[in-house]
Amino acid sequence: MSNEEKIIFDSKDLLFLIMKRFGVNKNILDDRFKLQKLIYLLGIFGVKLGYGFGWYRAGPYSKDIMDDNHHIFSRITDFERRTKESKWSENSIDSFKRFEKLCGKDILEDKLRLELITSIMFCITVWGYNDREEIVKRFKNQKRILSNGQILNDEDILKEFDFCELFLKESKKHKKEQKKREKIEKEKRDIENRMYYI
């Protein structure tokens, strides 16, 4: 393969592969919304793509994701060609399966729940609201109405707060196990490399 034919794999390629993997690969408003929330949750779970998030009307939002999404769809054929031979590592597949088991495969289908969950997660992980009563009070001050106009009540917030606590607990456990697996894989590669040079 000549230098001109070499394919350089970048973060947009990875984003494109995740879009395909989770079925949010249409250039429509719903999929762009789902993509924002998916990347945010995956980041908390330990699958970090390097995107930063701020607070926006519907919760966590990354302009960089939107820019990359636009770039991908303006060159979709290139991304399909570049990633055609790509396969996920066993570690990535395990992470995705555990994520889907924890969240449920249909989490991306309920936009309002997704908005509420990611917004509560943002309150907990970024703003540091950990007490249930505090989060209900502060969350309602920050985000009293969902993007569809639904007014939140305490019960809605507390129900999803329970899920968020479970998600954060499982994410911490997953990250710890992931680091352990990565360390074992690195040690295995190091041994193989040393044997090669002997």
Tens-digit pLDDT profile for residues 147-160? 666 667 777 777 88
* Residue 160 confidence (pLDDT): 85
Tens-digit pLDDT profile for residues 23-56? 988 888 889 999 999 999 999 999 888 999 998 8
Residue ranges making up the domain that contains 187: 3-197
Domain count, the chain: 1
Whether pLDDT at 64 is above 90: yes
* Residue 66 confidence (pLDDT): 94
The whole-angstrom separation of Cα 150 and Cα 137 is 17
Q: How confident is the model at residue 19 (pLDDT cuts 50, 70, 90)?
A: very high
Whether pLDDT at 5 is above 50: no
The whole-angstrom separation of Cα 82 and Cα 11 is 12
Q: How far is CA 8 from CA 14, 102, 119, in A?
A: 12, 33, 35
- DSSP 8-state secondary structure symbol assigned to residue 60: E
